[in-house]
Chain A
């Protein structure tokens, strides 16, 4: 095919510009460290990157929620433990009261006062707030869940529950909600096993010296201890499940970061080699262009 001298510069310019493209692309990858700077660089990877970023964000959120649940559960478990310890004391007072031979009205009165102190302390514990909100009031977190009502003689006759049955939750995974709280009445005022009622009855029985009532009160105290114990164990097992979940979230996060890197990051060594090669091609192109543009024609020799 006939080649006219004037067409050569036109094509060489276009070819040189074209050979600049891989130089520019490799250079951008080297400076950003990323293989995918625009969706068109790798459309499938770009989509995956969006998904992974989102999963990482959700993972982080779930970890934070898990920490919140953990803190609250730990607090609840600790309070239940202290209540249990106090109930053990009350139990001991009851047993002491039943050992008649050593009893005198004065001793029983002292025991009754001790039980009353336990009552006051357990109510205070049940009314504990965590970050300003009642732990055992169900959804009524602003209210004080347990209200002591005194009789005419000034002694507490009953404890009223001002909270509700609500259970709040936190998300620690897709569709994975964890209970945050235990409604107070279920823990402390279970029928026939009420912490407060058993203590009131125990105190009254000690004051009256009524052995049968004392016996009944002891049974209730022990039943209440059982309920508190179970609640504590439940909180404990929830915490263990939470730990497992946190570990899984941690492992997931590592995987996600790796996934992200695979899709997003440039292989620096390879990219540097590509850059060098592209640069060589470009240099060869511009050198040969310069040479060809200087090629003489017959006119030079006329």
Chain B
């Protein structure tokens, strides 16, 4: 006894299904050809399980079927994609941030603190020749006030950049929290689907995309689990554990007004990103911008100490006692100002080196000489320090540009590798379409033939 006559229909039906499915996959590929996150899918068409013939022929083929729809992916490249996204995200953000910083502290444009300091020195030199001239005295105080304003303004601008970086970090972490939840959910969906024998290819594409986003934000170390889930950790602390996502909490920093502290919700430990935009934001906020503010404060205190020192040793107009008021008042760059008592009384400026000597401008000469002397705290003259800092900030920004270019090149290379495996080639898909279409037509012809045979059998035998 042979196979059932109806087996032909089975083979035909299976074939049509298989070719239809193949066309669907091809259509899906073509539809997503422009989607850079999409991995091309390939329907694996295999010979169907053979039917056992109880006769002497043995196994008879059962047609073809789609045994799987595989996602074409270079998994080696995928692991690197997440980390390169992190490096590139960090380099990009650092570059943008440092560019802004260099704009704020640029002394080379001729409108900076050093220009104001030179004007103050000039004012003192003019005063030295006619120390009892009240308008020249006022000129000195105005110039000193200008120095203080420049320093305060720059500090304020830097503080604003710092708060901006802080906001970028907190915005980034809000996104990290959201993505962690999304990845956890995708993990659950993917794992369920795989357990049911399905191929959740598009979900896996979505998850890869989210992981790369996570990497570009805070850096992520991924671990592939056997159940199809991916675990994620940041600097050793878990972010996604199977189907659970961790949370990062933002709070006000009590020691730094206007800035934030970031901690893991589960154990209160400080959150430290390993890479990405958030790491760059931290670095800008705590290292680069804070560094510039610290330098500025060092300058402010050096000015305060130097000018106050001379003011204390000199004599005000017609004074018989030394000093009287301070010259500058400051605890740092943010509050540097001319001492209010002095600001309201130009006569109190100690231009003389001897008492009761209205024509003595020798202390003013000493004030003017401060610009040419190295200050101990700075290790250089005021302008020397400012010019060194300008060079440093420029060098850092230039280096950041180079690093970003390097990371971009790495990313480009990875993109090529990924596209080689996963990219949709319209030529290939078109040929595939052609193949499936012809096979489908051949299938329908086969069914027609089987049908004719069946008709013949029924007509001749039954009728």
A residues in contact (CB < 8 Å) with B: 1-7, 10-11, 14, 36, 38-44, 46-51, 53-54, 57-58, 60-62, 64-65, 68-69, 72, 131, 133-134, 137-142, 164, 166, 168-171, 174-175, 177, 180-181, 264, 297-299, 302
CB-contact partner of A68 in B129, B422, B429, under 8 A: B129
- The yes or no answer to B251 lying at the interface (CB within 8 A) is no
CA distance A134 to B422 in the complex (A): 93
B352→A298 contact, CB < 8 A: no
Q: Are A51 and B387 in contact (CB under 8 A)?
A: yes
**Cβ-defined partner of A39 (8 Å) among B121, B394, B419, B423:** B394
CB of B357 within 8 A of CB of A140, answer yes
* Residue contact A6 to B419, C-beta cutoff 8 Å: yes
> Hey, which chain B residues are within 8 Å of A134, CB to CB?
359
Whether the pair A171, B423 counts as a contact (CB closer than 8 A) is no
Question: Taking A38-B397, A39-B102, A48-B387 as contacts, is the C-beta distance between A298 and B359 under 8 angstroms?
Answer: no
Q: Which residue of A lies closest to B394 (CB)?
A: A39
A256 to B392: give the CA distance in the assembly, Å.
23
Flag if B424 contacts A50 (CB, 8 Å).
Answer: no
> Is the CB of B125 closer than 8 A to any CB of chain A?
yes
Q: Which residues of B contact A4 (CB under 8 A)?
A: 40, 419-420, 422-425
A-B contact pairs, 14 of them (CB 8 A): A6-B36, A7-B423, A14-B412, A40-B102, A50-B387, A54-B115, A54-B371, A57-B122, A141-B358, A166-B357, A166-B359, A166-B360, A298-B427, A298-B431
Residues of B in contact (CB 8 Å), total 73
Q: Is the pair B358, A6 in contact by a Cβ cutoff of 8 Å?
A: no
> Which of B103, B357, B391, B401 touches A47 (beta carbons < 8 Å)?
B391
Complex interface: chain B residues within 8 A of A40 (CB):
99, 102, 394-395, 397-398, 401
Contacts of A170 in B (CB 8 A): 125, 128-129, 361, 365
A residues within 8 A CB of B425? 2-6
B108 contacts A39, CB within 8 Å? Answer: yes
Contact (Cβ within 8 A) B108 A36: yes
Q: Residue of A at shortest CB range from B33?
A: A6
- Tell me how many residue pairs across A and B have CB atoms closer than 8 Å: 211
Q: In this complex, which of B112, B114, B128, B420 has the most chain A Cβ atoms within 10 angstroms of its Cβ?
A: B128
Q: CB within 8 Å of A: which of B244-274? A: none
Contact of A61 among B122, B388, B390 (CB under 8 A): B122
Given A39-B108, A61-B122, A168-B128: A7 in contact with B358 (beta carbons within 8 A) = no
Within 8 A of A (CB), among B370-396: 371-372, 383-384, 386-388, 390-395
Asked if B102 and A171 make an inter-chain contact with CB atoms under 8 angstroms apart, the answer reads no
- Complex CA gap A60/B123 in Å reads 12
Residues B430 and A131 in contact, CB atoms below 8 Å apart? no
Q: Is the CB of A57 within 8 A of B102?
A: no
A175 partner, pick from B33, B121, B369, beta carbons under 8 A: B369
Task: Tell me whether B126 is interfacial, beta carbon within 8 Å.
Answer: yes
Are B420 and A3 in contact, CB atoms less than 8 angstroms apart? yes
Contact A64 B125 (CB under 8 A): yes
Chain A residues with Cβ below 8 Å from B426 are: 5-6, 297-299
Give min CB distance, B393 to chain A, whole Å: 6
The chain B residue with its CB closest to the CB of A7 is: B419
* Complex: A169 Cα to B383 Cα, angstroms: 24
Contact A39 B397 (CB under 8 A): yes
Complex interface: chain A residues within 8 A of B359 (CB) = 133-134, 137-142, 166, 168, 181
A133 to chain B, nearest CB (A): 6
Cβ–Cβ < 8 Å partners of B40 in chain A: 4
- By beta carbon, the residue of chain A nearest B433 is A302
* B contact set with A: CB distance below 8 Å: 30, 33-34, 36, 40, 99, 102-103, 106-108, 110, 112, 114-115, 117-119, 121-122, 125-126, 128-132, 352, 354, 357-362, 365, 368-369, 371-372, 383-384, 386-388, 390-395, 397-398, 401, 408, 412, 415-417, 419-427, 429-431, 433-434
Q: Which residue of B lies closest to A50 (CB)?
A: B387
Q: Which residues of B contact A44 (CB under 8 A)?
A: 391
Taking CB atoms, residues of chain A closer than 8 Å to B126 are 64-65
Contact A139 B360 (CB under 8 A): yes
Report the Cα distance A144→B401, complex, angstroms. Answer: 68
In the complex, chain B residues whose CB is within 8 Å of the CB of A299: 30, 426-427, 429-430
Q: Are A7 and B398 in contact (CB under 8 A)?
A: no
From the candidates A3, A53, A164, A181, name the one contacting B357 in the complex (CB within 8 A): A164
Kindly list chain B residues whose C-beta atoms are within 8 Å of the C-beta of A142.
Answer: 132, 358-359
Q: How far is the CB of B432 from chain A (nearest CB, A)?
A: 10
Given contacts A40-B99, A170-B365, A298-B426, contact A10 B36 (CB under 8 A): yes
Distance between A242 CB and nearest chain B CB, rounded to angstroms: 13
**B154 → chain A, closest Cβ, in Å?**
14
CA distance A298 to B435 in the complex (A): 13
Let me know if A46 and B33 touch, CB within 8 A: no
Query: Would you list the 5 A-B pairs with minimal beta carbon distance, nearest first?
Result: A4-B423, A39-B394, A141-B359, A139-B357, A47-B391
Q: When the two chains form their complex, are residues B365 and A169 in contact, meaning their CB atoms are under 8 A apart? A: yes
The smallest C-beta distance from B247 to any residue of chain A, in angstroms, reads: 34
The CA-CA distance from A58 to B106 in the complex, in Å, is 20
A72 neighbours in B (Cβ, 8 Å): 129
Q: Which residue of A lies closest to B105 (CB)?
A: A39
Tell me the minimal C-beta distance from B388 to chain A in angstroms: 6
Contact present for A50 and B386 (CB under 8 Å): yes
Measured between alpha carbons, how far is A61 from B365 in the docked complex, in Å? 12
Closest partner residue, chain B, to A57 (CB atom) = B118
The chain B residue sitting closest to A142, CB to CB, is B358
A38's closest neighbor in chain B, by CB? B102
Q: Give A76 Cβ to nearest chain B Cβ, in Å.
A: 13
Residues of chain B within 8 A of A7, CB atoms compared: 36, 415-416, 419, 423
Nearest chain B residue, comparing its CB with the CB of A36: B108
For B392, give the chain A residue with the smallest CB separation.
Answer: A43
Max chain B C-beta neighbours (<10 A), residue from A2, A46, A64, A72: A46
Given A38-B106, A166-B359, answer yes or no on A50-B114 (Cβ-Cβ < 8 Å). Answer: yes
B394 and A41 form a contact (CB under 8 A): yes
Q: Which single residue of chain A is at the shortest CB-CB distance from B32?
A: A6
A40-B398, A54-B114 given; name 6 further pairs at CB < 8 Å: A1-B420, A46-B390, A53-B108, A140-B357, A140-B358, A297-B427
Chain A minimum-CB-distance residue to B419: A7
Nearest CB in chain A: distance from B275 CB, A: 21
- Give chain B residues whose Cβ lies under 8 Å from the Cβ of A2: 420-421, 423, 425
CB of A5 within 8 A of CB of B383, answer no
In the bound assembly, the distance between CA atoms of A298 and B428 in angstroms comes to: 8
**Interface-central residue, A11, A133, A298, by most chain B CB under 10 Å:** A298
Q: Which of A64, A142, A169 has the most chain B CB atoms closer than 10 A to its own CB?
A: A169
Looking at the assembled complex, report how far the CB atom of A255 sits from the nearest CB atom of chain B, in whole angstroms.
18
B415 engages A11 (CB within 8 Å): yes
How far, in whole Å, are A51 and B126 apart by their CA atoms in the complex?
A: 22
Assess whether B430 is in contact with A298, with CB atoms less than 8 Å apart.
yes
Taking a contact as CB atoms under 8 Å apart, the answer to whether B369 and A171 are in contact is: yes
Contacts A6-B419, A42-B394; A54 near B118 (Cβ below 8 A): yes
